[in-house]
C-alpha cells in the first residue's frame, strides 16, 4: 500500500508517518507535503502509483477537502483519509460526499489509524474477489467441458478444486436448457436457483456461451439429485423462466470422465425432441438405438430423390422420423438419411471420388441439440432433401445461409470451409453455395469466418486468465503467429497491444 501524507505542520507530518508504519508495517510512505497543490503535482507526475492519501483539513493554497474533491472528480483510483482537529459534523459530511474512506480526529490514535487502513484492505480484497469471479465467469463462457479437461492449466484452475473437495465421491453432469435463453444469461432468479443446486450437492456450475448451456457437476445420490432437479424445473416455471429441460449423465468418478459424462447428458437432453420440455431426462446405459431407415425404405427414398420427387420423399421422411421413440434412434436414423443424401450427391456430381471417404457434418451436439422439438428437426432434414430435389440455380436458399451463420457461431473454433459445408452438410455444389453466401452476406465465407473469429478474439482478450496462445486456439487458430498477423491486419494492433489498452 503506497501512501502520501499532507499536513502543513512539519513535525505533525513526521509523527503521522511514524504512526502509519507502526499501524501497518507493510505500507510504503512515498512522500509528505505541506499542502494539496503539492500532492496534486505529485499525483500528476506519478499516475497510478498511489493507493492512499492521508490529508489534514486545514492547509494553505489547497486544503484537505478540496484535495479530496479533486481526487473524487478526477476519478483517481485511490482512497482518501481525512484528518482534522475539528470534530465537526459538517466537515465529515462534506468529506463523505467526496468518497472519503475515513474521517479521523486529531490527535490520531494508532489503533484508529490501523482500523482505517485495515478497512481499506478489506474493501480491496472484496473488490478483487468480485472482479476475479467476474473474470472467471467471463473466461469460462468461451470454453467447454472438453477443452477444460484437455488443458492442464484450466483443468487445475476450474475443475480440480471441486474434485479435491469431493475426493472419492461420484458425480453427475447435468445440462440445463431454457427456451428463453436470453432471459437466463443474466437473470438473478435463475442464478439463485442454480447456486442453490450447486451448494446443495457440493458441486460446481459453469455457463458456456457457444451452446448457451448451464452445466452443473453435482456430487450425491442419483435419487436425491433427480428430485432436486425436478423441483428446480417446477420452480423455474413458477418464476416465469420459461420451459426448462434437464439432461443428466450416469455416475462418474474422475474429472477426466467429464467429456463422456457431457456426451451422455446431451443425449439425455435430446429426448426433449420426442417427449417434450419441462422434464428431467436421465441417460440410459442399456438403450438400443435402431436405424429406422431399413433397406426397403432406403431404396424407396433414394428413388424419390434421384427422380427429384420431393413430395413423395417428404412424406416418407416424415413417416420414418415420426416412428422414432428415443433421441438415440432419431440421431442414428437421420445420420443414415444423410449418408444416403451424400451418396446421391456424389453419384450425380461430376466428381464422385468422395464416396470412399465420405463423412457427415451432422452432430448430436450442433444439430439435434440446438432444436426445440421434432417439427424443427423435420424441417431441417426436409429443407436439405429439397435442395437435392430442386434445381439449385433456380432457387434462393436463404435458410441455408442462416443455418451456416449459426453453424459458424457454434463451430468457429474448428477447421471449417465452405467446400466442406457444401459437400458434407448441405449436399450441394460448393461454387454455388459460395456465390449464395456472398450474395446474402456481402462477404466471402473465408472473410466472414475470419472477422467472426477476430471479434471473438477481442472478447477473449478481455480476460487476463488466458494467454495469447489460448486466445488464438479458442478463436480457431492453431498457428499463433498467423493469428497475431490476422488480428493486426484487422485492428491495427497486436493482441498484446490491444489487451494493454483495454
At 194 the pLDDT is 92
Mode of pairing for the β-strands spanning 244-248 and 279-282: parallel
- Label each residue of 427-482 as H, E or C: CCCHHHHHHHHHHHHCCCHHHHHHHHHHHHHHHHCCCCCCCHHHHHHHCCCCCHHH
pTM of the model: 0.74
Q: How many CB atoms lie within 10 A of CB 190?
A: 23
Cα Rg of the chain, angstroms: 31
At 133 the pLDDT is 74
CA distance 226 to 197: 11
What is the DSSP track for 327-365?
A: HHHHHHHHHHHHHHHHHHHHHHSS--GGGGG------TT
CA distance 101 to 82: 8
Residues 62 and 18: beta-carbon distance below 8 Å: no
At 355 the pLDDT is 47
Q: What is the mean pLDDT of each run of 10 residues along the chain (502 residues)?
A: 92 89 88 92 92 90 88 89 74 72 83 88 84 77 87 89 92 91 72 92 90 92 96 90 92 93 94 94 86 93 91 95 91 92 80 53 81 92 87 64 90 90 87 90 94 94 88 92 93 92 75
At 350 the pLDDT is 61
Amino acid at each position: 500500500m503506497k501512501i502520501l501524507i499532507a499536513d502543513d505542520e512539519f513535525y505533525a507530518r513526521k509523527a503521522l508517518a511514524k504512526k502509519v508504519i507502526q499501524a501497518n508495517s507493510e505500507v510504503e510512505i512515498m512522500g509528505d507535503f505541506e499542502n494539496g497543490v503539492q500532492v496534486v503535482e505529485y499525483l500528476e507526475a506519478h499516475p497510478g502509483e498511489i493507493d492512499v492519501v492521508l490529508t489534514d483539513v486545514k492547509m494553505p493554497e489547497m486544503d484537505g477537502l478540496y484535495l479530496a474533491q479533486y481526487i473524487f472528480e478526477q476519478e483517481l483510483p485511490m482512497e482518501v483519509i481525512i484528518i482534522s482537529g475539528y470534530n465537526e459534523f459538517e466537515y465529515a459530511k462534506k468529506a463523505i460526499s467526496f468518497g472519503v474512506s475515513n474521517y479521523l480526529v486529531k490527535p490520531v490514535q494508532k489503533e484508529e489509524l490501523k482500523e482505517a487502513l485495515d478497512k481499506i484492505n478489506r474493501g480491496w480484497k472484496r473488490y478483487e474477489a468480485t472482479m476475479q469471479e467476474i473474470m472467471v465467469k467471463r473466461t469460462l463462457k468461451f470454453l467447454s467441458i472438453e477443452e477444460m479437461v484437455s488443458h492442464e492449466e484450466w483443468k487445475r484452475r476450474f475443475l480440480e478444486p471441486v474434485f479435491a473437495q469431493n475426493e472419492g465421491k461420484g458425480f453427475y453432469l447435468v445440462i440445463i436448457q431454457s427456451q428463453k435463453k436470453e432471459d437466463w444469461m443474466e437473470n438473478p432468479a435463475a442464478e439463485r436457483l442454480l447456486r442453490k443446486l450447486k451448494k446443495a450437492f457440493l458441486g460446481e456450475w459453469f455457463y458456456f456461451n457457444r451452446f448457451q448451456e448451464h452445466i452443473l457437476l453435482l456430487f450425491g445420490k442419483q435419487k436425491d439429485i433427480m428430485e432436486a432437479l425436478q423441483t428446480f424445473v417446477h420452480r423455474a416455471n413458477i418464476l416465469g423462466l420459461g420451459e426448462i429441460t434437464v439432461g443428466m449423465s450416469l455416475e462418474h468418478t474422475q474429472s477426466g470422465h467429464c467429456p463422456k459424462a457431457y456426451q451422455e447428458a446431451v443425449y439425455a437432453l435430446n429426448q426433449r425432441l420426442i417427449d417434450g420440455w419441462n422434464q428431467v431426462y436421465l441417460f440410459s446405459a442399456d438403450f438400443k438405438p435402431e436405424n429406422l431407415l431399413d433397406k426397403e425404405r432406403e431404396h424407396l427414398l433414394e428413388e424419390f430423390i434421384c427422380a427429384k420427387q420431393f413430395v413423395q420423399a417428404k412424406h416418407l421422411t416424415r413417416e420414418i422420423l415420426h416412428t422414432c421413440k428415443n433421441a438415440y434412434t432419431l440421431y442414428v436414423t437421420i445420420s443414415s438419411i444423410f449418408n444416403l443424401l451424400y451418396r446421391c450427391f456424389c453419384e450425380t456430381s461430376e466428381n464422385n471420388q468422395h464416396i470412399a471417404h465420405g463423412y457427415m457434418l451432422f452432430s448430436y451436439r450442433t444439430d439435434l441439440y440446438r432444436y426445440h422439438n421434432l417439427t424443427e428437426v423435420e424441417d431441417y432434414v426436409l429443407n436439405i432433401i429439397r435442395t437435392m430435389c430442386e434445381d439449385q440455380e433456380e432457387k434462393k436458399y436463404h435458410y441455408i445461409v442462416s443455418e451456416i451463420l449459426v453453424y459458424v457461431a457454434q463451430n468457429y473454433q474448428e477447421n471449417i470451409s465452405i467446400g466442406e459445408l457444401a459437400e458434407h452438410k448441405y449436399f450441394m455444389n460448393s461454387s454455388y453455395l459460395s456465390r449464395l453466401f456472398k450474395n446474402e452476406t456481402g462477404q466471402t465465407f473465408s472473410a466472414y469466418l475470419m472477422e467472426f473469429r477476430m471479434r471473438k478474439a477481442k472478447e477473449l482478450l478481455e480476460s487476463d486468465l488466458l494467454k495469447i496462445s489460448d486466445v488464438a486456439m479458442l478463436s480457431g487458430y492453431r498457428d499463433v503467429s498467423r493469428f497475431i498477423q490476422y488480428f493486426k491486419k484487422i485492428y491495427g494492433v497486436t493482441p498484446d497491444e490491444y489487451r494493454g489498452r483495454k
